[in-house]
Amino acid sequence: MKKSNVDRLITLEEFIIQGQNEFKGATGELSQLLRDIGLAAKIISREVNKAGITNILGVDGSRNVHGENVKKLDIFSNDQMLHALSRSNIVCMVVSEEDDGIIRMQSSSGRYIVHMDPLDGSSNIDVNVSIGTIFSIFMRNSDPADYPTDDDALQKGTKQVAGGYVLYGSSTILVYTTGVGVNMFTLDPSIGEFFLSEKNIQIPEEGTIYSVNEGNYNTWSPGLKKYIAYCKENDKKTNRPYTSRYIGSMVADVHRTLLKGGIFIYPESRKLPNGKLRLMYECNPISYIIEQAGGLSMDQNGRRVMEIEPTHIHQRAPIYVGSKKNVQNCIEHLKKYPKEEPRFIEKAELQ
Ligand code: AHG
Ligand code: MN
Ligand code: MN
């Protein structure tokens, strides 16, 4: 196992306060918000770990706003996150994968807006595979004396003040950035404390793992087909064929990519012209983390995902994210091979 680059025990709380002290003029609100999220993460982690024995697993019978089956843990996680975000009266609005509209919090004068995927990878719950929580934090543009506007919730990813995820895996870890590097914390469940386990994480410049749902191969662009064929070719000098890994929980697939390098792709396709993943609470925070770690996150045109101007809180975006060299190479393939004409697209697929 890789040795940690942290030489003494530092709790998440300590670390956040240290970081705050380094920022002149910081009010402590963002620090408080991160601590609140840390608390929700511990509660969700506890529930995830005992899911099998409390019969919380499985579909609760209802559907979320995207018509997908909602699992009980999705609802639990959504409630816990909302509760945590209302604790300190600093969040005025929340956008959640589980709620159709913008959630206006009681503290309308709060300066922060949070976008979240309370439980990512929910199809993996029933089979005991890693799942996660993703969050993205913005500051509002409107005057806190007024009611926040919808536009406050529709800012580009480059405007994020913090982004992160929690991974409920063989251990529970929290990874976040506030724009000064990426740090990782591991939960010690016996004392309920997150400890810094890796500071200033850097993604390898190049990796040998590609991660994409290959079942969708027939719906891909010619460029992506060519790139994946390249990944499978035999070439000792470039360590090919690459290894293929796909968990089906974005948080878990991206976390592996962050630590080991390589590329994670959820592409645009004939079936899903904008991909599947949501810009505001999946693609943006993940892009922020990976870019802060020295990697790249782009759309099919080689544009930074965080530069996409949002028009809808639940909009989707294609994503090609990971080690710099792998992403550059993939985008070059996409550009080199022209696009097919899209077939007739069903209205339902465009949502
Ligand atoms: P969620 O559980 O929040 O709906 O997200 C699931 C997402 C993401 O975690 C994962 O990368 C992707 O769905 C997998 O999709 P496919 O099954 O289409 O590969
Ligand atoms: Mn998700
Ligand atoms: Mn989800």
pLDDT of residue 25: 65
Query: Please, what is the end-to-end C-alpha distance for the chain in angstroms?
Result: 43
Report the residue among 250, 263, 278 best suited for mutation to probe ligand 1: largest number of ligand atoms under 8 A from its CB.
250
Instruction: Check whether 130 has a pLDDT greater than 80.
Output: yes
Determine contact, residues 92/33, Cβ cutoff 8 Å.
no
Of 339, 303, 327, 305, nearest to 225 by C-alpha is 339
Confidence of residue 12 (pLDDT cuts 50, 70, 90): very high
The residue whose C-alpha atom lies closest to atom 6 belonging to ligand 1 is 121
Q: Compute the mean pLDDT over every residue in the chain, rounded to the nearest whole number.
A: 92
Determine contact, residues 16/28, Cβ cutoff 8 Å.
no
Q: Which atom of ligand 1 is nearest to the CA of 249?
A: 9
Which amino acid is present at 283?
Answer: C
Ligand 3 centroid distance, CA of 119 (Å) = 4
Ligand 2 centroid distance, CA of 136 (Å) = 13
152-210: pLDDT as tens digits: 999 999 999 999 999 999 999 999 999 999 999 999 999 999 999 999 999 999 999 99
211-242: pLDDT as tens digits: 999 999 999 999 999 999 999 999 999 999 99
List domains and CATH numbers for the chain. 12-198 (3.30.540.10), 209-336 (3.40.190.80)
What is the model's pTM? Answer: 0.93
Report the residue among 65, 68, 282 best suited for mutation to probe ligand 1: largest number of ligand atoms under 8 A from its CB.
282
Ligand with minimal distance to 253 CA? 1
Report the residue among 266, 269, 271 best suited for mutation to probe ligand 1: largest number of ligand atoms under 8 A from its CB.
266
243-288: pLDDT as tens digits: 999 999 999 999 999 999 999 999 999 999 999 999 999 999 999 9
Residues with CB under 6 A from ligand 1: 97, 117, 120-122, 213, 248-250, 266, 276
Q: Which atom of ligand 1 is nearest to the CA of 213?
A: 19
Identify any residues that bridge with 132 across adjacent strands, giving them in sequence order: 120, 167
pLDDT of residue 54: 66
Give the separation between CA 258 and CA 272, rounded to whole angstroms.
26
Q: Which atom of ligand 1 is nearest to the CA of 252?
A: 9
